[in-house]
Amino acid sequence: MVNYRICDFCGNLYAKRTNQMCENCEKVYLKLRSIVEVYPDTIVLDLSNQTGISVSRILSFVRSGYFIMKEGTIEIHK
Least separation in angstroms between residue 27's CB and Zn ion is 9
Size of the site for Zn ion (CB under 5 A): 6
Interacting span for Zn ion (CB under 5 A) from 21-29, 42-50, 56-64, 65-73: 21-29
Is there binding between residue 9 and Zn ion (CB under 5 A)? yes
Least distance to Zn ion, CB of residue 23, Å: 8
Q: Running DSSP on this structure, what letter comes out for residue 14?
A: E
| Among 28, 27, 51, 52, residue whose Cα is nearest residue 39 | 51
Q: Given its phi and psi angles, is residue 40 left (phi above 0), alpha (psi -120 to 50 degrees) or beta?
A: alpha
Does residue number 28 form part of the binding site for Zn ion (CB under 5 A)?
no
Q: Does 32 bind Zn ion (CB under 5 A)?
A: no
